[in-house]
Amino acid sequence: MTKQVRLGIIGLGAQGGMYAKFIADGMVPNMTIGAIADIDPAKATVAAETYPDVAYYDDYVAMLESGDVDAIITCVPHYLHPEMGIAALSRDIHALVEKPAGVYTEQVRDLNAYAASKPELSFGIMFNQRNNPLYKRLKEIVDGGEIGDILRTNWIITTWWRPQGYYDQSEWRATWGGEGGGVLVNQAPHQLDLWQWICGVPESVYAKVAYGFRRDIAVEDEVTAVVDYGNGATGVFITATHDLAGTDRFEILGDAGKIVVENSRTATVTRLKKPERELSADMTMDDVLALFTGKLDAAELYEQETIEFDSAWGAQHAGVLENFAANILDGTPLLAPGSDGINGVRLANAIHLSSWTGREVPLDFDEAEYLDELNARIRAEGKFDEREPSAA
């Protein structure tokens, strides 16, 4: 490797520490740790012991202006991602933001607009599940029309069990003012992204959401959302943090086939011999009788394929880092362009707004209304400052 991108890691917590280790262990060959920034004095000791040759800053702006980094990644609370991304880009430093891209669409829209004004810089988001070979293959199948037009989607993802102690570990966790929400902004952003990345962006959503349903928190720990794709197709998204056994099942029904994913590991792809309506129209009463008596040969109707990939722990994240560095170095297309980050935030906002107002909400909802509702909840908490609307 003749050239490496010097990455500045903002926040040396669980995520930032993991990325630093990946780079130090050589899992990202085109990247090196340029510097680390964190406001927690305890992290200075950790950095000095673990990465003694890496510059450390207690102010991320000082790091941006040091000349030590070519790019940054934001491993900080969600609200800070947009402002830190803009701060980096404004200094001609490439930016990779963690998920979610922000908490409300107005701030993410500002980030996207600023990034668009700097097309010479790389702007990505850490949607590592887009680097999961299983989901990459499923997107190819859907995009290639192998299961036809989508009729229905549903994802039950409740493998996020979190005990009360998890929420009690810090003052900002599971608050409106500190975190901006619960399971939708913390645990489920990857699934919200994949759902839209593979199946398309819906037109509207109606949601029933429980806040502090099974945990002593102000934000959501139980979500059921129904989306409308605008062409008769619908989808359902269910997530929670109180299901100890947990379920992860993703289904995509098309008019020429179906995909069923279990535990984000194994997919069964059914491809119909003809579109479903043609099969229905061609079926005689003798065929119907054979169907009802279990004598109809399924092989005459469809074929099935099972897809399963091994994905080594850390490979997906490291792959996004490597791809981001490659985009900087030679223009390799990004796996997850930063501008895509607004899609998941917008859907999460729409789900919240629907539950708060009791109505179906379009995906082009009134952003000012959402922020007013969010700020009302921040005021009720009395712990954090209200959030400002877009400066644009």
Q: For residue 67, is it within any domain? A: yes
pLDDT at 126 over 80: yes
For 239-288, the pLDDT digits (tens) are 999 999 999 999 999 999 999 999 999 999 999 999 999 999 999 999 89
Question: Around Cβ 237, how many Cβ atoms within 10 Å?
Answer: 25
Instruction: Answer whether residue 71 is part of any domain.
Output: yes
Dihedral angle sign, alpha carbons of residues 82, 88, 92, 94: negative
CA 238, CA 350: separation in Å to the nearest integer? 15
What's the pLDDT score for residue 1?
45
Question: How many domains in the chain?
Answer: 2
Task: Please report which confidence band the pLDDT of residue 392 belongs to, taking 50, 70 and 90 as the band edges.
Answer: low
Residue 386 lies in a domain: no
Query: Does 24 map to a domain?
Result: yes
Same domain (yes/no): 87, 162: no
pLDDT digits (tens, 9 = 90+) for 141-200: 999 999 999 999 999 999 999 999 999 988 899 999 999 999 999 999 999 999 999 999
Same-domain check for residues 147 and 249: yes
The answer, yes or no, to whether residue 389 has pLDDT greater than 90, is: no
HSE (side-chain half, CA atoms, 13 Å) at 348: 33
Residues 286 and 320 in one domain: no
Position 390 in a domain: no
- Phi/psi for 217 (5° steps) reads -140, 165
207 and 244 both lie in a single domain: yes
66 and 177 both lie in a single domain: no
pLDDT digits (tens, 9 = 90+) for 80-93: 999 999 999 999 99
- Asked whether residue 388 is assigned to any structural domain, the reply reads no
pLDDT band at 316 (very low <50, low <70, confident <90, very high): very high
Total residue count of the chain as it appears in this document: 392
* Domain co-membership, 211 together with 284: yes
Same structural domain, 178 and 297: yes
Question: Is 391 a member of any domain?
Answer: no
Are 224 and 372 found together in one domain? yes
- Report how far residue 251's alpha carbon sits from residue 235's, in angstroms, rounded to the nearest whole number: 10
Do 282 and 319 share a domain, yes or no?
no
For residue 387, being part of any structural domain is answered with no
The answer to whether 197 and 130 are in contact (CB under 8 A) is yes
**Are 219 and 274 part of one and the same domain?**
yes
**Which three-class secondary structure string do you get for the chain?**
CCCCEEEEEECCCHHHHHHHHHHHCCCCCCEEEEEEECCCHHHHHHHHHHCCCCEEECCHHHHHCCCCCCEEEECCCHHHHHHHHHHHHCCCCEEEECCCCCCCHHHHHHHHHHHHCCCCCCEEECCHHHHCHHHHHHHHHHHCCCCCCEEEEEEEECCCCCCHHHHCCCCCCCCCCCCCCCCCCCCCHHHHHHHHHHHCCCCEEEEEEEECCCCCCCCEEEEEEEEECCCCCEEEEEEECCCCCCCEEEEEEECCEEEEEECCCEEEEEEECCCHHHHHHHCCHHHHHHHHCCCCCHHHCEEEEEEECCCCCCHHHHHHHHHHHHHHHHCCCCCCEHHHHHHHHHHHHHHHHHHHHCCCEECCCCHHHHHHHHHHHHHHHCCCCCCCCCCC
Q: How far apart are CA 341 and CA 81, in angstroms?
A: 11
**Tokens linked to 80:** 């800070």
Shared domain check, 119 and 182 = no
Q: Report how far residue 367's alpha carbon sits from residue 26's, in angstroms, rounded to the nearest whole number.
A: 43
Note the pLDDT of residue 170.
86
Closest Cα to residue 207, out of 364, 104, 354, 369?
A: 354
Mean per-residue pLDDT, 30-57: 97
Task: List phi, psi (to 5°) of 73.
Answer: -130, 140
In this prediction, residue 2 carries a pLDDT of: 59
Tell me which residue range forms the domain holding 144.
Answer: 131-309+344-381
Question: Domain with 46 in it: what CATH number?
Answer: 3.40.50.720
Task: Write the pLDDT tens digit of every residue in 162-171.
Answer: 999 999 988 8
> What CATH number did the domain enclosing 173 receive?
3.30.360.10
Same domain, 138 and 202: yes
